[in-house]
């Protein structure tokens, strides 16, 4: 159990367009989901915390108008990168915290975004 | 606050042991250990919650000191499959955010 999926796994888009990434918990309910970004050879940096039914909480330095997060249900959170630029190219990884088991956090397989 | 990991990188021969450290300036709620292979998502190894706790099995284990400010990951008799980047993630309080250290790149050579 405790599987998290992400879609798409890879996406290439042109500069100025928007891209939506989905994160789903397949076999459990997740009240809280997290979005991380990882540049090559670097650590995972937390971008935002997404709580079902409420507004996301963004980390310092992350533009909330550029990275739109929606957590509409207990199994789905989406990250939309708006007006993408080449510097947004990165590996985006979501994770989900199991409702009622706040210590456990499961990661999705990641989405490789390339902006040309 | 990001935890500090050391060493940054380590190269081992198959069968050798390694220790990776993770430290915080403040007492933590929990420490999580992950291994990440290139181009893949991190894979959960274990979580430590209690001061003085030791966890894992013979080959891969971890400890959490009494003050809950320092954790170590022990890799014994390393195998080629152990290669990857190891991250510790720390949570400051119950329900808090998981923040990752800088990572330790481990290479196991034949």
CA distance A90 to chain B (A): 11
CB contact under 8 A, B95 and A102: yes
**What's chain B's average pLDDT?**
94
Residue B2 DSSP label: -
- Is pLDDT at A97 greater than 80 in this prediction? yes
Contacts of A3 (CB under 8 A, 6+ apart): A25, A26, A27, A106
Contacts of A111 in chain B (CB under 8 A): none
What pLDDT is attached to residue A104?
A: 78
Average pLDDT on A3-18 reads: 96
B80-99 pLDDT, tens digit each:
999 999 999 999 988 889 99
- Is pLDDT at A1 greater than 70 in this prediction? no
**What's chain A's average pLDDT?**
92
B3-23 pLDDT, tens digit each:
999 999 999 999 999 999 999
Of A7 and A72, the one with more pLDDT: A7
- Cα distance between residue B47 and residue A97, in whole Å: 14
- Minimal Cα distance from B40: which residue of A? A109
CB contact under 8 A, B99 and A34: no
Helix (H, G, I), strand (E, B) or coil at A66: coil
- Cα distance between residue A88 and residue A115, in whole Å: 7
CA distance B58 to chain A (A): 23
- Which candidate in B91, B96, B98 is best for mutational testing of the A interface (most A CBs within 10 A)? B98
B22-49 pLDDT, tens digit each:
999 999 999 999 999 988 889 889 999 9
Per-residue confidence at A51, pLDDT binned at 50, 70, 90? confident
Is residue A46 within 8 Å of A60, Cβ to Cβ? Answer: no
A102 in B contact zone (CB under 8 Å): yes
Residue position matching structure tokens 């210590």: A103
- Cα distance between residue A44 and residue B34, in whole Å: 11
What pLDDT is attached to residue A14?
A: 97
Q: Which residues numbered 22-41 in A keep a CB inside 8 Å of some CB on B?
A: 34, 36
- Which candidate in B3, B8, B41, B64 is best for mutational testing of the A interface (most A CBs within 10 A)? B41
- Cα distance between residue A47 and residue B69, in whole Å: 24
- Neighbouring C-alpha atoms within 13 Å toward the C-beta of B59: 9
CB contact under 8 A, A103 and B30: yes
- Cα distance between residue A13 and residue B63, in whole Å: 44
Backbone φ and ψ for B80, nearest 5 degrees, come out as -55, -35
Q: Which residues numbered 45-64 in A keep a CB inside 8 Å of some CB on B?
A: 45-46, 49
Contacts of B43 in chain A (CB under 8 A): 107
Residue B41 DSSP label: -
- Is pLDDT at A99 greater than 80 in this prediction? no
A44 in B contact zone (CB under 8 Å): yes
- Cα distance between residue B102 and residue A47, in whole Å: 16
């Amino acid at each position: 159990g405790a599987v998290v999926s992400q879609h798409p796994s890879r996406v290439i888009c042109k500069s100025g367009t928007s891209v939506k990434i989905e994160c789903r918990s397949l076999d459990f309910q997740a009240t809280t989901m997290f979005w991380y970004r990882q540049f090559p050879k670097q650590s995972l940096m937390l971008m935002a915390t997404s709580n079902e039914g409420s507004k996301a909480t963004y980390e310092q330095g992350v533009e909330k108008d550029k990275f739109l997060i929606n957590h509409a249900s207990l199994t789905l959170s989406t990250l939309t990168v708006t007006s993408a630029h080449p510097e947004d190219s990165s590996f985006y990884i979501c994770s989900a915290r199991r409702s009622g088991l706040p210590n456990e956090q499961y990661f999705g397989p990641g989405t490789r975004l390339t902006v040309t | 606050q990001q935890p500090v990991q050391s060493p940054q990188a380590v190269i081992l021969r198959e069968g050798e042991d390694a220790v990776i450290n993770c430290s915080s300036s403040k007492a933590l709620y929990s420490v999580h250990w992950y291994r990440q292979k290139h181009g893949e998502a991190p894979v959960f190894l274990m979580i430590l919650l209690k001061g003085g706790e030791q966890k894992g099995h013979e080959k891969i284990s971890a400890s959490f000191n009494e003050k809950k400010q320092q954790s170590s990951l022990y890799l014994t008799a390393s195998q080629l499959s152990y290669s990857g980047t190891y991250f510790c993630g720390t949570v400051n309080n119950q329900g808090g955010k998981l923040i990752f250290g800088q990572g330790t790149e481990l290479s196991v050579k034949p």
